Amino acid sequence: LNEFQKSNRWEVKSICELNTSAHADIQARAPHTDIVTDEDLIFNDPSIDAVVLSALADSRLSQIRKAIAAGKHIIAEKPIADTPENEWEAVRLVENAPIRATVNMYIRNSWYLRELDECIASGELGDLAILRVCHMTPGLAPGEGHEAEGPAFHDCGMHYVDAARWLAHSEFKTCHAQAVRMWAYKDPWWLQCHGTFTNGVVFDITQGHVYGQLSAKQTHNSYIDVIGTKGIARMTHDFKTATVDIRGVTRTECIKRPYGGKNIGTLIELLADSIESGVRDNRLPTFRDSAIASEFAWNCLRDAADHDMPVRG
């Protein structure tokens, strides 16, 4: 809502919120917006061009079906459904419908990922050889989130799976995963996987919400490390500022810019461009991108379950 209200290209016509006790606060923030408890009032409103699907994953497929039937463009949270089978059904539906649809795979819309991609393409690093992606934070403890969206490596980790695939410009080929069940919780709260892409690039991805939950002063460790045959480029951030450090064959540069958060503003502007022009902007994450990242994350979780999965704490 905040990002839509900053844009002069969108009008927020209606919001569906089942919790009526929240309506007064929403209305105060959006006084000219209709607050409803029946989602069909939105899907059946011919004046609404696009819908944002941001409830839990188990509601997504039915809402995607309604949006397509009503001819509405879609911004969906990820994952796009609650199971891989339902996600691929959503992909099939969207790819055969005359609408524009995208997914909030927010790292795709970040300035730092595009800076790394352009550096790889320029040849400054030689041939891309290794991608290392890490995101470890204190984050949510078990029971505080992730339940409908799957374990941490699926709900949060699929962003980093997607980022690695996008930088590699290739599909995953092999994978081995190792996880740990922190605090005896049923799902692993830390997972690392490594493997190869079909183009020969090697990767490792680490994700977990286990990074000093009870530290007196909390911190985090988040980076993307791009290693070529001749040079390297890397990104780190502190959730406020992102830093891209490039050590190429002719270019040595350190770039610091605002982190950018979830980059919703970029996402909705790209979708507005795509709707108005009638041509999809290729920078928009697709439903297929989301389904691939989700399926790979689930596969990693299954692979980790086949190995020793210690319980600590």
Q: What is the pLDDT of residues 268-292, one digit of tens each?
A: 999 999 999 999 998 999 999 999 9
Q: What is the pLDDT of residues 108-149, one digit of tens each?
A: 999 999 999 999 999 999 999 999 999 999 977 777 766 778
Using left for φ > 0, alpha for ψ between -120 and 50, and beta otherwise, residue 36 falls in beta
Give the mean pLDDT of 72-97: 97
Give the pLDDT score at 140.
72
Give the pLDDT score at 244.
98
Give the mean pLDDT of 241-266: 96
Pick the residue with more confidence: 245 or 262?
245
Q: What is the pLDDT of residues 29-66, one digit of tens each?
A: 999 999 999 999 999 999 999 999 999 999 999 999 99
Give the pLDDT score at 146.
65
Give the pLDDT score at 90.
98
Give the mean pLDDT of 280-306: 96
Number of H helices, E strands in the chain: 10, 14
CA–CA separation, 222 vs 217, rounded Å? 17
Mean pLDDT (the chain, rounded): 95
CA–CA separation, 246 vs 33, rounded Å? 46
CA–CA separation, 66 vs 50, rounded Å? 12
Contact 175, 193 (CB under 8 A): yes
Q: How many CB atoms lie within 10 A of CB 124?
A: 21
CA–CA separation, 77 vs 97, rounded Å? 19
Could you tell me whether strands 73-76 and 101-103 are parallel, antiparallel, or unpaired per DSSP bridges?
parallel
pTM as predicted = 0.95
Asked whether residue 170 carries a pLDDT value surpassing 90, the answer given is yes
